Amino acid sequence: MNKKEVYDLIVIGGGPAGVTAAIYAARYKLNTLLISKEIGGQMLEAHKIENYPGFKSISGKELADKFKEQLKYLNIPVKEVRVDGLQKSEQGFIVGTAEEEAIEGKALILALGTERRKLNIPGEKEFLGKGVSYCAVCDGPFFKDKVVGVVGGGDSAASSAVLIAKYAKKVYILVREAEMIASPSWLDEIKEHENIEVLYNKSVKEIEGDKMVSSIVFEDGEELKIDGLFIEIGSIPATALAKEIGVKINDKGYIIVDERQATNVDRVYAAGDITTGSNKFRQIATAIAEGAIAANSAYENLKKK
């Protein structure tokens, strides 16, 4: 890239919010760049999406492929690289990546989504990819006829368990609390699977094994023999970059946005799971709305000069 080129808008993050922001920005004829290590974001982990209007049933991967097609069709430049730094510049903002000098933009839309929450227990890091996984849709099929644990009590734990149960011999859902908080339709689905068993008041203390996971130990000292452990205990917003340019986040770590998706920093907008918008109802449907609004706000702001 010519170092002197300054984009009107740089969208960071390739999930539904970022992709929609880029599509809208292109319609406004803003010189827009989309940067993301991959297109699709956390949606890529969804094996079946049945609540996005227009597709009766589609995988996250398939929908991401449609996003890619659409970006290409609209001639929107996409750089598939991880962003490793952000700073303010005279013209706006400089986005640092591992691959090249620097990319400059007059305005930013941060759509970095969230990252998987960890248990932070012994064995978790050690056995990652050796029985420990954060992605049922990616790794579930590897546990055919095995015994698997799923840690968590919400929708993602429930949906992961249901998926894994299609492959595994036995799935234990390991709930720290006395009940699950997953939605009724998921709870019903769990009941329909005879090979899923829910264990309540169980906190995993340690993951054990040799080359592969062989068992887990709970806080109460009990042990459970398993071949794999899926950790589905939620996500944390990826706001490290936002902090570098002074963007305000709330006490739970989400970027504070107003109704126009504006942050406290002029010409910096945020959209999707990373924000406090849409009243924390974090769906593809709400992420794309936030992306569209953020692009509209950036356009209105950039028009001023």
> Which residues make up the interface to its own copies (CB under 8 A)?
16, 19-20, 23-24, 27-29, 50-57, 63, 66-67, 69-70, 73-74, 183-185, 188, 259-260, 278-279, 281, 283, 285-286, 288-293, 296
User: Shortest Cβ distance from residue 234 to its own copies (Å)?
Assistant: 18
User: Shortest Cβ distance from residue 139 to its own copies (Å)?
Assistant: 25
Task: Output 67 or 93, the one with its CB closest to its own copies.
Answer: 67
Task: Output 184 or 221, the one with its CB closest to its own copies.
Answer: 184
Task: Output 41 or 228, the one with its CB closest to its own copies.
Answer: 41
CA distances from 202 to 103, 120, 223 (A): 48, 16, 11
User: Shortest Cβ distance from residue 66 to its own copies (Å)?
Assistant: 5
Task: Output 189 or 206, the one with its CB closest to its own copies.
Answer: 189
User: Shortest Cβ distance from residue 59 to its own copies (Å)?
Assistant: 13
* Pair 50, 57: CB distance under 8 Å: yes
* Pair 60, 40: CB distance under 8 Å: yes
User: Shortest Cβ distance from residue 125 to its own copies (Å)?
Assistant: 35
User: Shortest Cβ distance from residue 64 to its own copies (Å)?
Assistant: 10
User: Shortest Cβ distance from residue 27 to its own copies (Å)?
Assistant: 6
Task: Output 24 or 134, the one with its CB closest to its own copies.
Answer: 24
Say how far apart CA 213 and CA 71 lie, in whole Å: 41
Q: Which of 62, 77, 84 is nearest to 31 (CA)?
A: 77
Taking phi first (over 0 means left), then psi (-120 to 50 degrees means alpha), and beta for anything else, what does residue 226 get? beta
Task: Output 229 or 293, the one with its CB closest to its own copies.
Answer: 293
Task: Output 47 or 202, the one with its CB closest to its own copies.
Answer: 47
